[in-house]
Amino acid sequence: MSDESEGSAFDEGYVVPIAGLLAFMFALMAGLTAQRALSGDPADVAVPVGFGAVAVIALRIRMKAIAARSGDDEEASEE
């Protein structure tokens, strides 16, 4: 049993909601760990900064997926 569709994950629309949820989750974790970083050891700052960076990366992936999806929609409407 194989999936014989020739579309990608961008076409199916799985990437946009999953990347959005990942961005939200990592931003939430960055916010939850910020208090410990501000009141603790200077090395503890790396944890919320890392979570924030991953959240930004997930948002960029989400924006690229939305742009790819809208680009495919424009090409389909021109044909």
- Report which of residues 48 and 11 the model is more confident about: 48
Can you spell out the DSSP letters for the chain? --------HHHHT-HHHHHHHHHHHHHHHHHHHHHHHHHS-GGGGHHHHHHHHHHHHHHHHHHHHHHHHHHHHHHHHH-
Domain locations in the chain as residue ranges = 15-73
Predicted local distance difference test score (pLDDT) of residue 25: 94
Give the whole-angstrom CA distance, residue 19 versus residue 3.
23
- pLDDT the model gives residue 44: 85
pLDDT digits (tens, 9 = 90+) for 23-70: 999 999 999 998 888 888 888 889 999 999 999 999 999 999 888 888
pTM of model > 0.75: no
Whether 54 contacts 26, CB under 8 Å: yes
pLDDT for 36? 84
